[in-house]
Amino acid sequence: MLTRSGIIAAVVFFAIVSFPFLYNIVSVDVLSNVAAEPELKIEKQGKCVEETSWMRQNHMKMLFHTREGAVREGIRLVNKSFHGCISCHPDRAEFCDKCHSYVGAKPECWNCHSYPEKGKISHEL
Protein backbone atom coordinates (compact mmCIF):
# COMPACT_ATOMS: atom_id res chain seq x y z
CA MET A 1 0.00 0.00 0.00
CA LEU A 2 1.33 3.39 -0.96
CA THR A 3 1.51 6.07 1.63
CA ARG A 4 0.59 9.66 1.11
CA SER A 5 4.28 10.69 1.05
CA GLY A 6 5.03 7.96 -1.53
CA ILE A 7 2.28 9.22 -3.83
CA ILE A 8 3.48 12.82 -3.48
CA ALA A 9 7.07 11.75 -4.23
CA ALA A 10 5.93 9.84 -7.34
CA VAL A 11 3.93 12.84 -8.62
CA VAL A 12 6.86 15.22 -8.01
CA PHE A 13 9.26 12.80 -9.74
CA PHE A 14 6.92 12.46 -12.74
CA ALA A 15 6.53 16.26 -12.94
CA ILE A 16 10.30 16.82 -12.88
CA VAL A 17 11.00 14.12 -15.49
CA SER A 18 8.22 15.21 -17.87
CA PHE A 19 8.77 18.98 -17.56
CA PRO A 20 11.30 19.32 -20.45
CA PHE A 21 9.02 17.44 -22.84
CA LEU A 22 5.90 19.36 -21.86
CA TYR A 23 7.77 22.66 -22.02
CA ASN A 24 8.92 21.95 -25.60
CA ILE A 25 5.45 20.98 -26.74
CA VAL A 26 3.92 24.16 -25.33
CA SER A 27 6.65 26.64 -26.30
CA VAL A 28 7.64 25.37 -29.74
CA ASP A 29 4.33 23.93 -30.94
CA VAL A 30 6.00 20.76 -32.20
CA LEU A 31 3.10 19.65 -34.36
CA SER A 32 3.16 22.73 -36.62
CA ASN A 33 6.93 23.25 -36.69
CA VAL A 34 7.56 21.44 -39.98
CA ALA A 35 10.30 22.93 -42.15
CA ALA A 36 9.44 23.76 -45.73
CA GLU A 37 11.16 21.66 -48.37
CA PRO A 38 14.18 23.58 -49.68
CA GLU A 39 14.05 25.15 -53.12
CA LEU A 40 17.15 24.17 -55.04
CA LYS A 41 18.43 26.54 -57.71
CA ILE A 42 19.87 24.97 -60.84
CA GLU A 43 22.29 27.06 -62.91
CA LYS A 44 21.97 25.22 -66.22
CA GLN A 45 18.51 24.20 -67.30
CA GLY A 46 18.17 20.80 -68.84
CA LYS A 47 17.98 17.17 -67.87
CA CYS A 48 20.19 15.72 -65.17
CA VAL A 49 21.74 12.27 -65.63
CA GLU A 50 18.69 10.83 -63.83
CA GLU A 51 15.24 12.03 -62.78
CA THR A 52 15.02 14.40 -59.79
CA SER A 53 13.22 11.91 -57.54
CA TRP A 54 15.83 9.23 -58.29
CA MET A 55 18.71 11.64 -57.66
CA ARG A 56 17.28 12.72 -54.30
CA GLN A 57 17.27 9.14 -53.08
CA ASN A 58 20.27 7.62 -54.86
CA HIS A 59 22.86 10.28 -55.71
CA MET A 60 25.27 9.01 -53.06
CA LYS A 61 25.06 5.46 -54.43
CA MET A 62 25.84 6.83 -57.88
CA LEU A 63 28.77 8.89 -56.56
CA PHE A 64 30.19 5.89 -54.67
CA HIS A 65 29.82 3.65 -57.73
CA THR A 66 31.47 6.27 -59.96
CA ARG A 67 34.26 6.75 -57.43
CA GLU A 68 34.95 3.02 -57.28
CA GLY A 69 35.11 2.83 -61.07
CA ALA A 70 37.41 5.84 -61.31
CA VAL A 71 39.76 4.92 -58.47
CA ARG A 72 39.92 1.15 -58.86
CA GLU A 73 39.41 0.66 -62.60
CA GLY A 74 40.34 4.01 -64.16
CA ILE A 75 36.88 4.46 -65.71
CA ARG A 76 36.08 8.17 -65.89
CA LEU A 77 32.72 9.17 -67.33
CA VAL A 78 32.28 12.92 -67.69
CA ASN A 79 28.48 12.92 -67.48
CA LYS A 80 28.44 10.89 -64.25
CA SER A 81 31.40 12.43 -62.48
CA PHE A 82 31.62 15.02 -59.73
CA HIS A 83 32.67 17.54 -62.39
CA GLY A 84 29.42 16.84 -64.22
CA CYS A 85 27.46 17.56 -61.04
CA ILE A 86 29.15 20.87 -60.27
CA SER A 87 28.77 22.12 -63.82
CA CYS A 88 25.01 22.44 -63.15
CA HIS A 89 25.17 22.87 -59.38
CA PRO A 90 28.20 25.13 -58.78
CA ASP A 91 27.11 26.69 -55.47
CA ARG A 92 27.54 24.18 -52.66
CA ALA A 93 25.72 26.33 -50.06
CA GLU A 94 22.67 26.79 -52.29
CA PHE A 95 22.48 23.19 -53.45
CA CYS A 96 24.26 20.50 -51.44
CA ASP A 97 24.28 22.10 -48.00
CA LYS A 98 20.70 23.34 -48.14
CA CYS A 99 19.27 19.89 -48.87
CA HIS A 100 21.62 18.00 -46.55
CA SER A 101 20.72 20.37 -43.69
CA TYR A 102 17.02 19.84 -44.38
CA VAL A 103 17.31 16.05 -44.03
CA GLY A 104 19.93 16.16 -41.27
CA ALA A 105 22.65 14.45 -43.30
CA LYS A 106 26.31 15.12 -42.60
CA PRO A 107 28.25 13.83 -45.60
CA GLU A 108 31.97 13.36 -45.13
CA CYS A 109 32.84 14.26 -48.73
CA TRP A 110 34.19 17.67 -47.81
CA ASN A 111 36.54 16.32 -45.16
CA CYS A 112 38.92 15.34 -47.98
CA HIS A 113 37.54 17.01 -51.10
CA SER A 114 37.12 20.71 -51.80
CA TYR A 115 34.21 22.19 -53.70
CA PRO A 116 35.55 24.60 -56.34
CA GLU A 117 34.59 28.24 -56.03
CA LYS A 118 31.72 29.35 -58.22
CA GLY A 119 33.07 30.51 -61.57
CA LYS A 120 36.34 28.58 -61.20
CA ILE A 121 35.09 25.18 -62.30
CA SER A 122 37.44 23.16 -64.45
CA HIS A 123 36.00 20.36 -66.54
CA GLU A 124 39.33 18.63 -66.86
CA LEU A 125 39.68 15.19 -65.35
Q: What's the CA gap between 103 and 35, in Å, rounded?
A: 10
Contact yes or no for 87/122 (Cβ under 8 A): no
What is the rounded average pLDDT of the residues 28-33? 58
Query: In the 8-state DSSP scheme, what is residue 105?
Result: -
What is the rounded average pLDDT of the residues 28-40? 66
Percent with pLDDT over 70 in the chain: 82
- Structure confidence at residue 32 (pLDDT): 59
Contact yes or no for 75/69 (Cβ under 8 A): yes
pTM of the model: 0.55
- Structure confidence at residue 64 (pLDDT): 84
Contact yes or no for 58/50 (Cβ under 8 A): yes
Does the structure show a pLDDT above 60 at 31? no
Q: What's the CA gap between 85 and 99, in Å, rounded?
A: 15
What is the rounded average pLDDT of the residues 81-91? 78
Query: Between the CA of residue 59 and those of 55, 66, 77, 87, what are the distances in Å?
Result: 5, 10, 15, 16
Mean pLDDT of all residues in the chain? 79
97 alpha-carbon distance from chain centroid? 7
Does the structure show a pLDDT above 70 at 107? yes
What is the rounded average pLDDT of the residues 75-99? 79
What is the rounded average pLDDT of the residues 44-69? 83
